[in-house]
Amino acid sequence: MIPITHFLAVSACIFCIGLYAVISKRNAIMILVGIELMINAAILNLVAFGRYDKADYGGQVFALFAIVLAAAAVAVGLSIILMTYRKYKTINPDQITDLRD
Amino acid sequence: MGFLSILIFLPLLAALVMLLLPKSAAGSAKYLALAATAGQLLLTGYLYVHFDSAQAGINDVNSFQYVEQLSWIRLQIGADKLLEIDYFLGLDGLSLPLIVLSAVVMLMAIGASWNVTKSVKGYFALLMLLNTAVMGVFCALDFFLFYVFYEVMLLPLYFLIGIWGGVRREYAAVKFFIYTLLGSVFMLLVIVGLYFSVTNPATGANTFNMLHMMNPANYGEESFFGWVRNFHEIFGIPARLIGFAILFIAFAIKVPIVPLHTWLPDAHVEAPTPVSIILAGILLKVGGYGILRICIGIFPDMAALSNWWLGLIGVISILYGAFNALAQKDLKRLIAYSSVSHMGFVLLGIATLTTEGISGAMFQMISHGFLSAALFFLVGVIYDRVHDRDIYNFRGLASHMPRYTVFVAIAFFASLGLPGFSAFIGEAFVIIGAFNSESVGTGLPRWMAVGGSIGILLSAVYFLWTLQRMFFGQTRFKGGEEWATALNDVTMREQIILYPALALAIILGIMPSLVFTPLNESVMRLVSVVSSFL
Amino acid sequence: MMNLLHISPIHASLAVLLFPLAAFLYQALRGKQDQSGIVGLLGILLSTAASAFFVFFPIWQQTPVEATASWFTVGKHTFSAGILLNNLTVLMQLLVCIIALPVHIYSRVYMKGDPGIHRYWMYLSLFCFAMLALCVANNLLLMYVFWELVGFASYLLIGFWFTKDAAVQANKKAFIVNRIGDIGFLIGIALVYAHMGTLNLSELFGKQSPLFEQIPLWHTERWMTYAGLAFFVGAMAKSAQFPFHVWLPDAMEGPTSVSSLIHAATMVAAGVFLLATVFPLFNESILLVIAIIGTITALTASYFALAQQDIKKVLAFSTISQLGFMVVAVGIGAWNAAIFHLVTHAFFKCLLFLCAGAIIHEMAHAIPAAAKVDPQDMRNMGGLRRFMPYTFILMVIASLALAGFPLTSGFLSKDSIVIAAFEWAVERGGTYLIIPIVLVLVSFLTAFYIGRMIFKVFFGKPKLWSDEKVTVFHEAPKGMWIPMAFLGLCSLFFVFSFNPISHQNAALMQGLTLLTGFQPIDSLHMFIPIVLITGSAIGWWLGYRWYVQGKYPFQENNAWVQHAQKQAYINEFYQFIIVRSTLYLSRGLYWFDHYIVDGLTNGAASVTRAVGRVSAWVDRNLVDGLVNLVAQTSYYAGHLLRWVQNGRLQNYMGFAFTMVLFGILYLVLR
């Protein structure tokens, strides 16, 4: 039996990778990818903790929900990026500074 | 509205009208000024003729004449304190001659400024403001009112010197202003101190009324300037002495005394001729008047205590001024220093605390008033023509400008105290008073009188030397032919201005009673006030 | 008609001084239009008539009359102006009139054609007014007024030719030296007033005066000594006593007619008149001082007169010397003798000057303008006797009177002084005898120098003309020598005394009786005149021998002659010591005033400005700096924080995460 700690460690790693991507990448797509990674890390945790809810499988259910929602969010995100690209000809968030003072 | 108020505010009214004049009518400002001043002269003439010379004035309100007393400022301070400032005017023997003098000199000054071209309106308006202030100073009997007029005097003078003056006019104007202000600021402290010490016996309120300040009974016990049980000291000096000294210095700067005189030569040299006339003719007299009426009137005990020092300062001023006049190359500066010397006689006369000495001092003030005015005007005559005043640049003017020379010679001889002219009476009585001082016990040593008389000798020396250098000998000018054509003899206007001044000098020299009669009772009262403290 | 002649002497004497005053005012108003001087002449003529008939004769030897009007009041004292007529004052007034009248007549010719002649008449009338008023003034203050006015008139007349440098230097000098005396007079007045409370002469010295009652008592008072000294200083300057004599020789720069009236006969004698007037003030020690000063003056002036080459200077020093005689007479208490000599001296000295004027006038006319020869220098004269016989005779009469020969007025008056001096000295004995002996010596010298003048001018050969050209030089015009002749007449004995050898019989001396402190010594009245006459005769003989016969014993540059001619270098001494030191002092004081006193003022101003600058610096850099520091700090802090708010989501993210991390760490490590 694989102890829960291993799941959590993997999840933390994925989360960190995602976080890194979100903070440091200069490409909106890559940031989106990072967000997805972070969501996936969370999903992994949900699944891992799901073993303590064997009666309802609440973990797995939440994970499914999250996957669906993440897919929808990615779709929305990608479309925003696309629109942004059309307007600014770039998807580097640093260069989009219209709201800056 | 009494006579004195009209006298004081007539020029102010004229000034207001002037300011309302449209620019096109600015030229009529001088006629307005002339009319106002002439009106004042008539008014003072009326006052002089109707003056009752048996009334002494000084410290008794009932024997003042033309008294006007209105309550001006009544401010409730705290529960039981009332600020009591009156609009309080009155005339006695000390102020009457000075008022007449002021009117005459002012008229001369207006005449002398007939050719002013630089912003005429402002010039005459300032002159009229000055006129108001001067008259006010001589009439005011409320110390607060006095101070207001006293300070208002400075303002127009500052601008008159600073705008219409000579090359270094700003320097002179600032120096004059600050010097005088220095004195009067401290005076304000003493005024306030007196205010807190003196109560009006009628109302019980603290008062600025000078006549109440002259009565020892009105001083509160243990009050700051009080007479009874006064333990107040500043740096170990009794408060009353300090008060006297500060008031004295404030007025002495005006007189001026050595060593507080250095504003005077600069102010005179830089001031335009009419302002010089007013400065020498009236302003210096404010100092002497203040010492008599205020320093001696309010602090008679301290005057009796310190008259030795006053006399010493007087003698030093006489001799020092005379020696300095001897060293001058600039004619106007020479006359300025001679003013210092002649005003020294005023101080010496006051310091004698005898009737002869004080009468002599008053007479000297009157006499010096229009003589110095005439002298400055005469300097202005040649300065107008060639813009030079250096004694060594002129020679033999007597052949070239005979009439002018006659005027100068008369003015010079009158100033150096030739009998038959007014200055002689003044100086002689100061000297007589100074000798008399030892006999009546006011304690002025006789060497001071001798020192003063040496001043008379020196005044002959510098005036005659100047006559010899500038007017006699073969005609020779620094400017050559150009000057010779510019230096035409005195014009009609100049003669009209000069005649009254010199005529007055002669008339007063022959009939000194014209001044002594109204003066006498007041001086005797003043002396009797002081003599009880000797 | 007779009523008109009963004019009160007071009114008459007022008229006497008002005539010249009116003439002065009239001429002053007319200015240049009045050239003839007829008004001035008329004025003095009327004055003379009034003075003689309505003042002198009614008053002389009668009770004195006084009239006063209050002038002005100072304190409780009323100062009055008034006229006092007694023997002394009416005599002086008449004398002034009688001298002024011929001088006026003389001037009409003498000053003719001068471009400034209108001024001349004006000044002359002014002088006459002041001098006549001085004589009869009844109080000291009024006297002082006219005392200075005569000085003023004298100033104007000395500087009459004001384009001449020497003249204006001289009038300045005269006025200033006189001013020293005036100061003395004024101090005297002040002292008298301070102690006696009045200045009225009759109240002071009259019979009711406390002074009169107890003179010896008063004389012990210190102030009396000072007052006496002060009055004497006044008299010294006016009467040109040593060491104040320096102005008189220089005053000769004025027209000669003026010199004769003012600087010989009348004004300079005013000092002696003053001494006589205030005589009761003088105590013993002051009188001695007066006598000594008079003696020194008489001696030095006659010594200086010996070597002068300018004819007017000789006469000027002679005047000083004779004034010294008068002052000595006052000093020994015989002021009546002084006044007597004053009167006789006035006539003959005035005559001498008028004669000198006539000579100078003719010399100036005869010398071609280009020749640049001084018409007053005696070295250019000589042999004029033949051309100007009247002048010669008159001048000889005057000179004899000056030298004190019998039958002249000078003999009477001078002897009276010398005799009185001897009597006075014998009474005291010993060293006091020096004074009369010096006076005798001075008499000899006087005879010598005046003889020298006569011989140099009238004898010998003309220096500038050969005998043939007589036409260029002639007698003075009538208008000049007639007034001179009148004065010449007055220089003779019979005007004063019918006994030509006894001064005691002189009417004048009888009019001015006084009690002298010393006994008359009869033997002296014989002895002294004989000595004096002998000495004077020797003096003239010497003069004749030296200057006419050409047996002059001295070298050209004899030290004594030089010394006398340069007036013992007194002028130079004054110039270098007094005048220069005064000027240096004045310059020093001006330096002091300019750099120290004014420097202090300006220093105070610059210190104030410096303090202002310092405080401005403090204000800008410290006080305001603190405020700015706070502002800057918050600004930078804000700036720092603002950098966080850069709108970058990633940064926000990072921060948020970091904070969460910290939070976690905190929770973990707590």
Per-residue pLDDT of chain B (534 residues; tens, 9 = 90+): 788 899 999 999 999 998 888 888 877 888 989 999 999 999 999 999 998 888 888 888 888 888 888 888 887 777 677 788 889 999 988 899 999 999 999 999 998 888 888 888 889 999 999 999 999 999 999 999 999 999 999 889 999 998 888 888 888 898 888 888 888 888 888 888 888 888 888 887 888 888 888 888 888 877 788 777 777 777 878 888 888 999 999 999 988 888 888 888 888 888 898 999 999 999 999 999 999 999 998 888 888 888 899 999 999 999 999 999 988 889 999 999 999 999 999 999 999 888 889 999 999 999 999 899 999 999 988 888 888 888 888 888 888 888 899 999 999 999 998 888 999 999 999 999 998 888 887 778 888 888 999 999 999 999 999 988 888 888 888 888 888 888 888 888 889 889 988 999 999 998 998 999 888 889 998 988 888 887
Nearest chain C Cα distance for residue B497, angstroms = 19
**Partner A contacted by C77 (CB < 8 A):** no
The verdict on C470 and C616 lying in the same domain is: no
With contact defined as beta carbons under 8 Å apart, do B399 and B476 qualify? no
* A5 assigned to some structural domain: no
How far apart are alpha carbons B277 and B380 in whole angstroms? 10
Give the residue from B395, B325, B413, B396 showing the smallest Cα distance to C155.
B413
**Partner C contacted by B503 (CB < 8 A):** no
Give the residue from B288, B276, B207, B213 showing the smallest Cα distance to B250.
B288
Q: What is the pLDDT of residue B349?
A: 92
Amino acid identity of residue C215, one-letter, is I
* A80 assigned to some structural domain: yes
Residue C2 has pLDDT above 70, yes or no: no
Query: Under DSSP, is residue B138 helix (H, G, I), strand (E, B) or coil?
Result: helix
With contact defined as beta carbons under 8 Å apart, do B11 and B132 qualify? yes
Cβ separation C647–A23 shorter than 8 A: no
Q: Considering only alpha carbons, which residue of chain A is nearest residue C650? A: A23
In sequence order, what are the residues at sequence separation of 6 or more whose Cβ sits closer than 8 angstroms to the Cβ of residue C438? C295, C298, C299
Query: Under DSSP, is residue C613 helix (H, G, I), strand (E, B) or coil?
Result: helix
A15 contacts in chain C (CB < 8 Å): none
Domain that holds residue B318: 3-531
Give me the number of domains chain B comprises: 1
The verdict on C401 and C550 lying in the same domain is: yes
**Partner B contacted by C159 (CB < 8 A):** yes
How far from C189 is each of C93, C334, C579, CA to CA, in Å?
23, 23, 27
Domain that holds residue A42: 27-89
Q: What is the pLDDT of residue B345?
A: 93
Give the pLDDT of chain A (101 residues) as one tens digit per residue: 788 899 999 999 999 999 888 888 888 889 889 989 999 999 999 888 888 888 888 888 889 999 999 999 899 999 999 998 898 888 887 777 776 65
- Residue C476 CA to its chain's centroid (Å): 31
Q: Considering only alpha carbons, which residue of chain B is nearest residue C79? A: B513
How far apart are alpha carbons B346 and B343 in whole angstroms? 5
The verdict on C555 and C521 lying in the same domain is: yes
User: Looking at C502, C530, C565, which one is the last position of a domain?
Assistant: C565
Give the residue from A54, A45, A55, A33 showing the smallest Cα distance to A4.
A45
Q: Considering only alpha carbons, which residue of chain C is nearest residue B266? A: C598
Q: Determine if residue C80 is left, alpha or beta; phi over 0 gives left, psi from -120 to 50 gives alpha, anything else beta.
A: beta
Indicate the burial class of C161 (C-beta count within 10 angstroms; 0-12, 13-18, 19 or more).
middle
Phi, psi (degrees; rounded to nearest 5) at B261: -105, -5
The verdict on C508 and C647 lying in the same domain is: no
Which residue out of C639, C641, C648 would a mutagenesis test of the A interface target, given it has the greatest number of A Cβ atoms within 10 Å? C648
Indicate the burial class of B252 (C-beta count within 10 angstroms; 0-12, 13-18, 19 or more).
buried
* pLDDT tens, position by position, C302-339: 888 888 888 888 889 999 999 998 999 888 888 888 88
- CA max distance for chain A: 56
Which residue out of C653, C655, C664 would a mutagenesis test of the A interface target, given it has the greatest number of A Cβ atoms within 10 Å? C653
Amino acid identity of residue C332, one-letter, is I
Q: What is the pLDDT of residue A10?
A: 93
How far apart are alpha carbons C158 and C255 in whole angstroms? 7
**Partner C contacted by B398 (CB < 8 A):** yes
Cβ separation C586–B327 shorter than 8 A: yes
> Which residue among B355, B438, B474 sits closest to C75, beta carbon to beta carbon?
B355
User: Looking at C565, C589, C616, which one is the last position of a domain?
Assistant: C565
Give me the number of domains chain A comprises: 1
Amino acid identity of residue C413, one-letter, is S
In sequence order, what are the residues at sequence separation of 6 or more whose Cβ sits closer than 8 angstroms to the Cβ of residue B492? none
Which residue out of C574, C586, C602 would a mutagenesis test of the B interface target, given it has the greatest number of B Cβ atoms within 10 Å? C586
DSSP state of B91: E
Domain that holds residue C405: 343-565
The dihedral built from the CA positions of residue C622, C626, C627 and C629, taken in this order, carries a sign that is positive
* A12 assigned to some structural domain: no
Q: Considering only alpha carbons, which residue of chain C is nearest residue A25? A: C650
User: String of b and e for C49-71 (b: at least 16 CB within 10 Å)?
Assistant: bbbbebbbebbbeeeebbbbeeb
The verdict on C401 and C485 lying in the same domain is: yes
How far apart are alpha carbons C558 and C544 in whole angstroms? 20
* pLDDT tens, position by position, B12-28: 999 999 888 888 887 78
* pLDDT tens, position by position, C631-646: 999 999 988 887 777 7
Per-position DSSP letters for C299-335, written without gaps between them? HHHHHHHHT--BHHHHHHHHHHHHHHHHHHHHHTT-H
The verdict on C613 and C558 lying in the same domain is: no
Query: Under DSSP, is residue B330 helix (H, G, I), strand (E, B) or coil?
Result: strand
The verdict on C493 and C561 lying in the same domain is: yes
How far apart are alpha carbons C405 and C399 in whole angstroms? 9
Q: Determine if residue B321 is left, alpha or beta; phi over 0 gives left, psi from -120 to 50 gives alpha, anything else beta.
A: alpha
> Which residue among C646, C647, C653 sits closest to A23, beta carbon to beta carbon?
C653
C 546-605 near B (Cβ less than 8 A)? 582-583, 585-587, 589-590, 593, 597-598, 600-601, 605
Q: What is the pLDDT of residue B303?
A: 87
Indicate the burial class of B115 (C-beta count within 10 angstroms; 0-12, 13-18, 19 or more).
exposed
Give me the number of domains chain C comprises: 2
The verdict on C535 and C463 lying in the same domain is: yes
Nearest chain C Cα distance for residue A94, angstroms = 6
How far apart are alpha carbons C332 and C421 in whole angstroms? 6
Report angle CA C341, C343, C348 to the nearest 5 degrees. 90
With contact defined as beta carbons under 8 Å apart, do B518 and B96 qualify? yes
Q: What is the pLDDT of residue C382?
A: 75
How far apart are alpha carbons B495 and B403 in whole angstroms? 9
Enumerate helices (H) and strands (E) in chain A, giving the number of each.
3, 0
ipTM given for this complex:
0.91
DSSP state of C162: T
Cβ separation C583–B326 shorter than 8 A: yes
B420 contacts in chain C (CB < 8 Å): 145, 149
Phi, psi (degrees; rounded to nearest 5) at C111: -95, 5
Chains near C, with 3+ CB pairs < 8 A? A, B
In sequence order, what are the residues at sequence separation of 6 or more whose Cβ sits closer than 8 angstroms to the Cβ of residue B367? B421, B422, B423, B425, B426, B505, B508
The dihedral built from the CA positions of residue B270, B274, B280 and B283, taken in this order, carries a sign that is negative
How far apart are alpha carbons B307 and B347 in whole angstroms? 10
C 165-194 near B (Cβ less than 8 A)? 165, 167-169, 172, 175-176, 179-180, 182-183, 186-187, 189-191, 193-194
Phi, psi (degrees; rounded to nearest 5) at C113: 85, -5
* C111 assigned to some structural domain: no
How far apart are alpha carbons C574 and C586 in whole angstroms? 16
With contact defined as beta carbons under 8 Å apart, do B123 and B156 qualify? no
How many CB atoms are closer than 10 A to CB C407? 15
With contact defined as beta carbons under 8 Å apart, do B95 and B522 qualify? no
With contact defined as beta carbons under 8 Å apart, do C312 and C259 qualify? yes
Indicate the burial class of C7 (C-beta count within 10 angstroms; 0-12, 13-18, 19 or more).
middle
* C257 assigned to some structural domain: no
How far apart are alpha carbons B419 and B283 in whole angstroms? 26
The verdict on C409 and C466 lying in the same domain is: yes
Report angle CA B511, B517, B523 to the nearest 5 degrees. 125
The verdict on C457 and C596 lying in the same domain is: no
How many CB atoms are closer than 10 A to CB B347? 30
C 6-35 near B (Cβ less than 8 A)? none
The verdict on C441 and C541 lying in the same domain is: yes
The verdict on C558 and C579 lying in the same domain is: no
Cβ separation C648–A94 shorter than 8 A: yes
How far apart are alpha carbons C641 and C634 in whole angstroms? 10
User: Looking at C535, C565, C595, which one is the last position of a domain?
Assistant: C565
In sequence order, what are the residues at sequence separation of 6 or more whose Cβ sits closer than 8 angstroms to the Cβ of residue B495? B403, B407
Count of residues in chain B: 534
Which residue out of A23, A27, A97 would a mutagenesis test of the C interface target, given it has the greatest number of C Cβ atoms within 10 Å? A23
